[in-house]
């Protein structure tokens, strides 16, 4: 069964460093998303992406964040200058269609900013 | 701004009995609802969904009920099995003209199935 994959599974970085989280969505899906979950809190929407552009972004997704689909398979989330509060699980998701489209999630990347 | 609420942080049910997880929402524009199951350090796994044009959807041991007038949905698991022990998230989305629809998640309910 097709699945969303994410790399790395864990990332430890120093505050102020740049990190790139990578995702490979399900191959025939057209809609892509990043969410995050801070420990003990709910899953929060960060950004959605369709047709090579951002569809919507949350308040969390400030100028330090960017997303890119550099080729036909990868979808990346970059945090330019990490802060302590960026420590969280980051989940990538993809869906085949927009309306009524189920989003399938990857296993997540645990980011720890020291 | 808690548009999706799961008021029970935890629920404990005996194996073989019915588990009922509840979710309330405030945004009347939501038209698609999903339940996800999540284990620690893993991504949410899709369980079942329901469109706002329906009031019930069933898939094996899982049934989701939607009461639009009350802005309430529930997930029934019967019979409950030990492998069902996990955190369950309710999520909702609202149709937009184009682009990708985001999901709004509840806080989750930790379900424990006791043997």
Listed residue (B57, B66, B47, B111) closest to A105, CA to CA: B47
Q: What is the DSSP string of B50-97?
A: EETT-SEEEETTEEEEEETTTTEEEEEESS--GGG-EEEEEEEEE--S
Is B105 within 8 Å of A43 when comparing Cβ atoms? yes
Is the model's pLDDT at A111 over the cut of 80?
A: yes
Set of chain B residues whose Cβ sits within 8 Å of the Cβ of A106 = 43
Set of chain B residues whose Cβ sits within 8 Å of the Cβ of A35 = 103, 105
Q: Which of A8, A42, A110 to mutate to test the interface with B (most CBs of B within 10 A)?
A: A42
Other beta carbons less than 10 A from residue B22's beta carbon: 17
Is the model's pLDDT at A69 over the cut of 70?
A: yes
What's the pLDDT at B1?
Answer: 62
Set of chain B residues whose Cβ sits within 8 Å of the Cβ of A42 = 89, 105-108
Set of chain A residues whose Cβ sits within 8 Å of the Cβ of B98 = 50, 55, 98
What's the pLDDT at A26?
Answer: 93
**Closest alpha carbon within chain B to A30:** B100
pLDDT, one tens digit for every residue, chain B (115 residues): 679 999 999 999 999 999 999 999 999 999 999 999 999 888 999 999 999 999 999 999 999 999 999 999 999 999 999 999 999 999 999 877 666 789 999 999 999 999 9
What's the pLDDT at B63?
Answer: 98
Is B105 within 8 Å of A44 when comparing Cβ atoms? yes
List of residues 6+ apart from A31 with CB closer than 8 A? A48, A49, A50, A55, A94, A95, A96, A97, A98, A101, A103, B100, B101
What's the pLDDT at A33?
Answer: 96
Is the model's pLDDT at A38 over the cut of 80?
A: yes
């Amino acid at each position: 069964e097709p699945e969303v994959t994410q790399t790395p599974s864990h990332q430890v970085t120093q505050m102020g460093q740049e990190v790139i989280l990578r995702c490979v969505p399900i191959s025939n899906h057209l809609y892509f998303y990043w969410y995050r979950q801070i420990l003990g809190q709910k899953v929060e929407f960060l950004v959605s992406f369709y047709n090579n552009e951002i569809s919507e972004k949350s308040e969390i997704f400030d100028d330090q964040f960017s997303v890119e689909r550099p080729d036909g398979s990868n979808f990346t989330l970059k945090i330019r200058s990490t802060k302590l509060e960026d420590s969280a699980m980051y989940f990538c998701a993809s869906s085949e269609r927009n309306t009524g489209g189920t989003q399938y999630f990857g296993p997540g990347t645990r980011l720890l900013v020291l | 701004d808690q548009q999706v609420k799961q008021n029970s942080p935890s629920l404990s049910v005996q194996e073989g009995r019915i588990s009922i997880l509840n979710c309330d929402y405030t945004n009347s524009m939501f038209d698609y609802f999903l339940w996800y199951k999540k284990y620690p350090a893993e991504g949410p796994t899709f369980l079942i969904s329901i469109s706002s044009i329906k009031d019930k959807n069933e898939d094996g041991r899982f049934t989701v009920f939607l009461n639009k007038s009350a802005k309430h949905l529930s997930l029934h698991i019967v019979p409950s099995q030990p492998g069902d022990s996990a955190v369950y998230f309710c999520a909702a989305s609202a149709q937009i003209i184009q682009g990708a629809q985001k999901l709004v998640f509840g806080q989750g309910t930790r379900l424990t199935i006791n043997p």
